[in-house]
Amino acid sequence: MVFPVVGGDGKPTGYNIDNSLRFNPSDNAYLNRTPSSEGNKRTFTLSFWAKISANYGTDTSTNNFFTARNSGGYTTGIQQISGGHIQAFIYDNTGGEEYKLQLKTNAVFRDVSAWYHIVFAVDTTQGTASNRGKLYVNGSQVTSFATETYPDQNFDSHINDDVPHYMGNKDGSNDDYDGYLADFYLIDGTQYAASNFGETDDNGVWIPKDAKGDLTFGTNGFFMEFQQTGTSANSSGKGADTSGQDNHYDDNNMTAEDITTDTPTNNFCTFNPLDVSGDENPAKVCTFSEGNTKVVQGNSNDVIGWAASTIGIRNGKWYFEIKLPTVGYQVFGIGPESWDGQDTASANVFMVYIDNGSATFRTGASGGQGSFSFSESNNDIWMFALDLDTPKLWFGVNGSWYNSGDPSAGNNPTSTQAITDTVFIKGSLYTQNRELLLNTGQPSFSISSGNSDANGHGNFEYAPPSGFLSICTKNLAETG
């Protein structure tokens, strides 16, 4: 398992990104705006951070980060395409229908646990053709392309034209983005380099920096920090422009829960669509959505499919929640990466098994297990508190801990098994269309109360026990 590499401690500027916006393609979720007047169509910069949720090991869809599209259907934008390649482009019919600019990377970007910084910078007034379009990923200019085409000098793109602009979509109905976006800039009139938006920290990691005050945004430029949850194109909306230009975007098919604290400077644990096992093709067994916080059993009943989390834990105190929108046959808890759920006597396993009203738990290499009664209902929320150092492990449901457990005081644990390997949150569904919703601190479902951990991270339905933390990189850095 590759752990996500993100900024955090040791940053030269101490700049933190507080929020991101989560896009769920099945909801047709996107932001849009049509500028009232033209800006500079020859010179612009797009800069943003992306945590891509699509599984490009099997996914052949197109992920559009940002596009501008005229009435003839000709488009300028940046997208991720089949295989995980990034493509920046201007497609137009001036002088013949074709790509006027096309930069398709040889490299592929498939890590669903990582945040990528992407910059697409255009200046078609440049005398040297290769300077008319530049693409950067994580601070480095991309120079190796599968396709490399540059426009004629002084060619007009569609960005900053008075045509519809879309974030997270191609045209309002097609090729929706799947993932998270953070610190999104559009610059009208300047071709900036990646170094204007990020920097290298003391450990050699590319991280964001506070750039807003050093940039000239131009007529149609904007900066989105995704700090608001409103639905209108104003300063209270999800698409609020905080550059001072008031170029706010409309919200389409999004909820307040799509504003998250999963960011490049504090990366949260999610399910990992690249780490799935099953009785048959895993891609058919499980489907993922809501930024990989939701997994659904597909295909048919009685097909076993296991999903694992992006981040593993070995020591420390951790808290997470699992929501079951419809109770059926579900299994969830923690286990080593290699465990596929078939062997109930595996070391380092701490699982809850639910089968239509019957509930059991299974722990450790000896196959220890027990049964317990609970009042089954849809939308149950299960709680896990893991002290991997003592070790003591607890689970509960809907605010009550099993066997009067008290994780804060260390009393009445469900299990005291030793955890001798890195473990991952794991879940399985045996009934078609059953769901698991994972909340390690950035829920995709509505929270009625709202509770963070002692470090101020995460948003949970129930208060994390004292000393137990959400699974995110800031807490991991502190715990070691």
Asked if the model's pLDDT at residue 306 lies above 80, the reply is no
Asked if the model's pLDDT at residue 431 lies above 80, the reply is no
pLDDT per position as a tens digit, 366-379: 556 666 766 778 89
Q: Is 342 exposed, middle or buried (0-12, 13-18, 19+ CB in 10 A)?
A: exposed
Tally of CB atoms within 10 A around 9? 13
Kindly compute the dihedral angle of the four CA atoms of residues 439, 478, 317, 259, in this order, to the nearest 10 degrees: -10
Mean pLDDT of 395-406: 94
Asked if the model's pLDDT at residue 39 lies above 80, the reply is yes
Tally of CB atoms within 10 A around 467? 15
pLDDT of residue 478: 85
Asked if the model's pLDDT at residue 285 lies above 70, the reply is no
Asked if the model's pLDDT at residue 1 lies above 70, the reply is no
Higher pLDDT, 47 or 371: 47
Confidence of residue 480 (pLDDT cuts 50, 70, 90): low
pLDDT of residue 193: 98
Backbone φ and ψ for 164, nearest 5 degrees, come out as: -60, 135
Confidence of residue 2 (pLDDT cuts 50, 70, 90): very low
Q: d(Cα 288, Cα 295) in Å, to the nearest integer?
A: 5
Asked if the model's pLDDT at residue 270 lies above 70, the reply is yes
Question: Are the C-beta atoms of 291 and 22 separated by less than 8 Å?
Answer: yes
Q: For 20-29, 112-121, 298-307, which range has the lowest pLDDT when averaged over its residues?
A: 298-307
Asked if the model's pLDDT at residue 337 lies above 90, the reply is no
The pair of structure tokens assigned to 429 is 């569904």
Single pTM value for the model: 0.94
Asked if the model's pLDDT at residue 384 lies above 80, the reply is yes
Mean pLDDT of 154-171: 97
CA atoms within 13 Å, Cβ hemisphere of 12: 13
Asked if the model's pLDDT at residue 380 lies above 80, the reply is yes
Asked if the model's pLDDT at residue 343 lies above 60, the reply is no
What is the DSSP track for 262-300?
-BTTBPBP-EEEEEEEESS-HHHHEEEETTTTEEEE-S-
Question: Are the C-beta atoms of 13 and 7 separated by less than 8 Å?
Answer: no
Q: Give the DSSP H or E segment for 475.
A: helix 473-479
pLDDT of residue 304: 55
pLDDT of residue 33: 98
**Among the listed residues 202, 94, 210, 89, the one whose alpha carbon sits nearest the alpha carbon of residue 149:** 89
Residues making up the chain, counted from first to last? 480
Higher pLDDT, 1 or 399: 399
Asked if the model's pLDDT at residue 10 lies above 50, the reply is no
Q: Where are the beta strands (DSSP E) in 138-257?
A: 140-141, 145-149, 165-167, 179-188, 198-200, 206-208, 222-224, 250-252
Q: For the chain, list the domains and their CATH numbers.
A: 20-260 (2.60.120.200), 271-479 (2.60.120.920)
Q: d(Cα 140, Cα 305) in Å, to the nearest integer?
A: 38
